[in-house]
A and B are shown apart, each in its own frame.
Chain A
């Protein structure tokens, strides 16, 4: 084992970890912002948008993230319309394409998580709100969504971890995230064990930190559902 090269390149690893965290934060923020309205549409029995939203989440959840990334990064470039459009500077950048693909992917999973939490709202909560004279929009905003958000925390925590692991695909489109740095160090020094184990250890540390964060969130916001001590 030769960890000298790793020690020299440690700043590179930290920069890679920062890139990974940035990718994760952008994807999660974009995905969550789009997922909440989609989940509301998805959980309304009479809405016209129900079927298209279902199709979107079904297609995204049924295909690999790698295919989605390639479809956006390599696929869109096939069309002259795209290459000549004002969006081309963004759509030709691996950074933007990776963020977009990750955001769309996590959006589909988050939509299902939030829609499931909305469906599991106790009937009494909604009936009580209606009885108090709240409109449908008010019920959604003041009662259903806050209560669903709490119930979604455990599954959303899992989704965040899976997305963290998904961001490792950014290295495939040349980005120097944590995995990208490890691949770079391996190809320069030919030390596969040291290079990838270091990256793996950093991913593990980030994962454990996120798990701790979500446990704290559960204790804070789901305390009323915990078994009585």
Chain B
């Protein structure tokens, strides 16, 4: 992250330097361009090279700028397409900058173009051209006239010379005419090109540098010629020449030779004979005159000429010049527009990059990355915003750390509390004692499983309810008494054993009620612990009864045999000796013997009960055991309907067949006795595979068992049968056998009528 930010910062610095450098370069180059044309008239070709270099650099810079702008534009377009964050703002800023710069720049450009075009038009207007043209034509006319004049003078001198004889006369003529015509020089030339006679203006400082030979040659060929040559002392000499003929005839009207030039200075024409010119035209020489044009005049005419030339040059360049200026203006316009666009990009970037960073940062902070730190450096409001964001992130992080620490501590506490609570709950759930707690308003706050089982209720139905609302009136009274007792005793706890009849069950419970107080001793409610003593008491009673039975059997059985034997002996010895009351004697002795036998049987029963053999479980089918037990009763009691509902799913399991058969026989015996001659007895087997438990129900529609007898039903020598018909040991034995099989027997009322014995037997002993 930091590396990326550093790289970005370096890149920005580099870009800034490049921009400043380019800006300075463009400025310098433009400055040079503006000033160089003035220098160029003084400096040589080097300046041109420099100029071209500058122009090229300028072009390159412009191209670079265009490239940067186009690149940024294309980038912006692509980013807009990809919906990159911040592109909209950037687009708006760029458009705003371009619009703001475009309108004035374009207006300025148009104005400049119009101005330049009109200015150039004015420079090259017709008046300027015609005046320059006029001046030039004057100068040209001057030269032309001078040329004509010199030719005319030469011709005139030739004509006059034809009448003169001798060199002196000719020289005088030439001198006279030179002075008259204001010529610089007059001379007569022989056919060979030599100057024969001449007259020179003495005012000329420098000697004339010979005649223009090409013009002389032309003259000797018969042409009238004019030529301009420079004069060494400045200015020019305008030469004019015409040929001299052998015969010269002046005819004003006709331009034909008509006169004779009769040998003015040649003694003999013979040397011309054979010459084509001489033969054909009679040319015997030429006259040349020179007119001196002073330096200042020449310079002025040259100035006029140069001005015209310059004007024509410029006019020639009128269109290119206008185009050039327009292009320069266009370039400047483009530079301004592109610079504005680029500046727009720059500004947009300066604004959007921190905003994007902030957005990114906000997202990251929102997603939980509080280590995020913005490294943007700015001195403006963005910088303030960034530092505020960083401070916020830092504060958030600190707060988060503190909260996390608090949360961890809280979690630890909660966990510990929860573990403790769970442990307590587990303890509560697993204690055999039922636990019920009330808060200070009397609302039930805790009911453990044992309490649910014991009191046959669902915790969820009563939790949060007031005990007064939940409890039946008699129990409410009981609880109230307990509370009263606590209050009276001013004790924090109380224990009490009581019998609780719940629906068809009667429990013997020991209730312990404790007042709950907090650390400050404030009353929080109370907790009641119920210990189910029913089974314990039952087992204690069973054990006690067994001991009693054993002792009775021992104490009673011993004298019974002698009593029986004595009675039998008395009967045998004295039956024949007693007369009269023999019947009484026999009846009494038989009664003794019979009762002793009965007593013996009773004692044997007791003895059997006391000395119940150890259980010998072997794999057996309980359905079959029950079925075989029922068969006996079905035969004996045809008036009673026996219904057996075996459970085919019940597997074979280890059970003592004989003892279990005895259990069923005893129970069925009781049931038969209960229905008293007619009724229905149902035996149902239910197997719970999950609990590995088999439940047997023996239901009859007999007279039923009163609730107060139910706790004693499985005690020895308790019978509801008529006296003499039961030993009171049947159900005690059943209970003993079931207990030996780790099972449990209970009695319930059968609805709508009768009794129901329920035996729960575990399959695994």
A joins B in a complex: no
